[in-house]
Structure 1
């Protein structure tokens, strides 16, 4: 069910549980601010989720409350993951669904990295 990105953080969401080690994941990258892992229901040949380790519901929440180090670390990690996975040459798509109208399903900020095949148009025309 889509969530309202203005809601308080729900510490029982699946990404919070992954961060606490309660649910296993296939880690692609990890540092002090970020965890990235393969999506369990991939929508492209490469489908990686990148999440901040802090309790942030949305991009808006993150941009207001996160430290400068967390923000820089998160953005740099996305680029590093794409480079290390060899995605730059052929291209990749970044997607962040924020709030109900965008279809955000997990109330923890996350970026999807899609790649590995032509992805088609961004939105249905």
Structure 2
């Protein structure tokens, strides 16, 4: 089984190739297939948007939620964050609780995330 470091190395190699000559690039269909295989193999964990058309990794979702809170002046209702990110409220709430447990700069009260 591949380690996370191996996956990150492959991702950086893929990005470098995608930015190079067009003859070496993967098509969009091939990129989607690679991602679907990684998801099916549970090598990456993703959260789908409400429309099911796109997804983000759970780590990136944490970053997006933090950014939404900071952009809102340090106070963001989770319902507003869910709408802005097009992610189900349950995922937003679960991730916000995770953020608060890991980062002392954030607090959660009455379904609102605060940046201190």
Q: Which entry has the higher C-alpha Rg, 1 or 2?
A: 2
The structure where strand makes up a greater share of residues is: 1
RCO (CA 8 Å, sep 6+): is it higher in 1 or 2?
1
Under a length normalisation based on structure 2, what TM-score does the superposition of the two structures give?
Answer: 0.29
TM-score, structure 1 normalization:
0.27
